Amino acid sequence: MPFRKTFDAYVPSNGKELFALTKIKPDYVPFDTLRSIPLDPAHTASFEYAKQITPHEGFIHSIRCYYFALAILHNGFPSGTPGMPQITFEELNRRMYHTCILHDLGWTTTSEGRGHLAGAMTFELHGGIMAFEHLQAAAPDLNAQQVGDIVQSIVLHTSEWASGKSSATKTLMSLSALFDVSGYDAQGPGSLNFLINRKTVQEIEKEYPRGNFAAEGVETLQKEFVNKPDCFLSHFYNGPDDFLKTISIPVPPYEGFLHSIRCYYFTLTILHNGFPSGIPGVPQSTFEEFNRRIYHSSHSKSTYAGTITTPSAIVMLRSTMRTLVQLRQ
């Protein structure tokens, strides 16, 4: 299915209102389709600038964000809402690329970046100002509305509101960054399962591996919280320490996800076929409670793409099998 021709230029800032309006389904879209979308010389200039300024893992994260944003756009982002201004796919993609690829300039460790007059600001503002200056020089064809949307989306990409509107560019930037940082469980177990197909994610991460992004991200933001106690992310609803924990949560690869599902059903089968019950003196668990725990264990957060997933599920299965063997001896 091709991309729609136009999309809502503005959408609800409130996540629940946004997702109530969308018709997002995690349809598979090949990575080859996403990377076939043409870019212009200004995009190439932003790519090279971000590569020079942003730490390596943060730069690769920025590239993944762009492709994740495209996948979300493909899968049912709001379009044609009555009374809402529309933006063409070509224009939205143009803004979205600059936004995604430049959004973490404020993570810079270069002398150019750290010596910038905006260097003492929260990294979103720091990066946004550097992006503004870059676009003035490298993309003079962009008008005030285009530059304004790109820069404002960078500045506000970690901010959330309970009411009002956000541009499509900002919303896609925020969603893709949240997804790449915290995965499918970003807002609770399975909360973003509907957003992007896991096979699409696997293909993107194969091309742009996660590497040491979690470690680099934690180190960068720990410095941010220490050096800039008033930074935007210090206002995260559960506090900075809780936010840092989410960075270490990777996006499960597609095959690992299928493995997790199989683990759950294999364990149910073992339970059905004669797992110990009613042993005198041994505390009992109801089937409902046991099933609840099995499900969460089987679907626990995985390790990085390319390595085995759900170690807790594997340990659980091995422990179960050992118990059954011992009982039969």
Beta bridge partners, 166, equal 11
Q: Which residues contact 162 (CB under 8 A, 6 or more apart)?
A: 13, 14
Residue that wins the pLDDT comparison between 164 and 253: 164
Question: φ, ψ for residue 220 (rounded to 5)?
Answer: -65, -45
What is the average pLDDT score of the chain?
Answer: 87
Other CB atoms within a 10 A radius of the CB of residue 56 amount to 12
Q: Tell me phi and psi for residue 255, to 5 degrees.
A: -65, -35
- Per-residue pLDDT at 254: 52
- For the residues 289-315, what does the mean pLDDT come to? 53
Q: Which of 247, 265, 294 is the last residue of a domain?
A: 247
Same-domain pairing of 127 and 35: yes
Sequence-separated (6 or more) residues with CB below 8 Å from residue 181: 61, 217, 246, 247
For residue 174, pLDDT beyond 60: yes
Confidence of residue 248 (pLDDT cuts 50, 70, 90): low
> How many structural domains comprise the chain?
2
pLDDT tens, 72-126? 999 999 999 999 999 999 999 999 999 999 999 999 999 999 999 999 999 999 9
> Which pLDDT score, from 0 to 100, does residue 255 have?
54
Between 248 and 276, name the one with better pLDDT. Answer: 276
Q: Mark whether 178 and 74 lie in a shared domain.
A: yes
Query: Which residues partner with 186 through β-bridges?
Result: 188
- Listed range (105-119, 177-191, 230-244, 295-309) with the worst mean pLDDT: 295-309
- Residue 69 in contact with residue 175, Cβ under 8 Å? yes
Rounded Cα distance between 325 and 329, Å, is 6
In the structure, what pLDDT confidence band is assigned to residue 308 with cuts at 50, 70 and 90? very low
Only one residue has tokens 């949307």, namely: 149
Q: Residue 318 pLDDT more than 70?
A: no
3-class DSSP state for residue 167?
strand
What's the rounded Cα separation, in Å, for the pair 69 and 96?
A: 8
For residue 283, give its domain range. 254-328
CA nearest 70: which of 93, 90, 99? 93
Of residues 228 and 251, more confidence is placed in 228
**Strongest mean pLDDT among 180-184, 206-210, 277-281, 313-317:** 206-210
Say yes or no: 189 and 322 in one domain: no
Mean pLDDT across 221-243 = 87
One-letter identity of residue 316: M
Q: Are residues 184 and 275 in the same domain?
A: no
Q: Based on the domain organization, do 243 and 261 belong to the same domain?
A: no
Q: Within a domain: residue 1?
A: no
Residues 6+ apart with CB under 8 A from 323: 276
> pTM here?
0.78
| pLDDT surpasses 70 at 304 | no
Are residues 37 and 120 part of one domain?
A: yes
Please report, for the chain, how many H helices and E strands are present, in that order: 15, 4
Coil, strand, or helix at residue 194?
coil
Flag whether 139 is in a domain: yes
On whether both 166 and 24 belong to a single domain, the answer is yes
**pLDDT confidence band for 297 (50 / 70 / 90):** low
